[in-house]
Chains A and B, each alone.
Chain A
Amino acid sequence: DVKVTQSSRYLVKRTGEKVFLECVQDMDHENMFWYRQDPGLGLRLIYFSYDVKMKEKGDIPEGYSVSREKKERFSLILESASTNQTSMYLCASSFRTAQETQYFGPGTRLLVL
């Protein structure tokens, strides 16, 4: 079974802090994704990566950056957290192409005060 894990289930940070969200998959998947989920807005793609050190902007990349130094790990970075980044963050991975089945982690609920 594919397993996608996220470093934290819940996180509380203060405005202006630098925040790291980590995601790890154990199935040698090429692609990894970061989404945020907000009520009434569904899932919105922040960034995705199709290979180590490669990244592509999604629909809402502003205020975020990503890092993929190893194939199994994809990090989402909030350089200076703001209250409007309070959200549920979901990581996903897919095997070969971004169109294939995406497998999701359990999510990280981030609260920025």
Chain B
Amino acid sequence: GEDVEQSLFLSVREGDSSVINCTYTDSSSTYLYWYKQEPGAGLQLLTYIFSNMDMKQDQRLTVLLNKKDKHLSLRIADTQTGDSAIYFCAESIREEGSQGNLIFGKGTKLSVKP
């Protein structure tokens, strides 16, 4: 079945770059997403990329997509303590006879040390 894998933890120093990686299984995914969850809060959409793109940049965020390897990454430049959160990768899936859905990874907890 569909699965989205990401490492559970990442620790970086303030000012460094963070790279959070994700692998997915459905090669027909149309959209791939990154969500951020701060402590005690819901998930907030951070960015997304269409499957026909290789890269998307939005201020400090860079998303890279390697469709051949089904690998998605999120790079945060100049990481700040406010970036400490759990980051979820998600892929859109479409199943015959169904509405389709998003499949989420288990989340990567990013800790930023001052």
Contact = CB atoms under 8 A, between A and B. Distances in A.
A94 to B, nearest CB: 8
Contacts, number: 57
A82 to B, nearest CB: 24
A46 B8 CA distance: 23
A97 B42 contact: no
B17 interface: no
Contact of B101 (A41, A99, A104): A99
Contacts of A42: 88, 104-107
Contacts of A106: 41-42
Contacts of A102: 45, 102
B92 interface: yes
A40 B105 CA distance: 10
Nearest to B92: A99
Contacts of A43: 43, 88, 104
Interface band, chain B = 20 to 34
Nearest to A51: B99
Nearest to B42: A104
Given A42-B104, A56-B98, A99 B31 contact: yes
B93 interface: yes
B33 interface: yes
B44 interface: yes
A111 interface: no
A98 B101 contact: yes
A40 B42 contact: no
Interface of B: 8, 30-31, 33, 35, 40-45, 48, 88, 92-94, 98-102, 104-107
Interface of A: 4, 31, 40-43, 45, 48, 50, 56, 90, 92, 97-107, 109
14 contacts: A31-B99, A40-B106, A42-B106, A45-B101, A98-B101, A99-B31, A99-B102, A100-B31, A100-B92, A101-B31, A104-B42, A106-B41, A107-B41, A109-B40
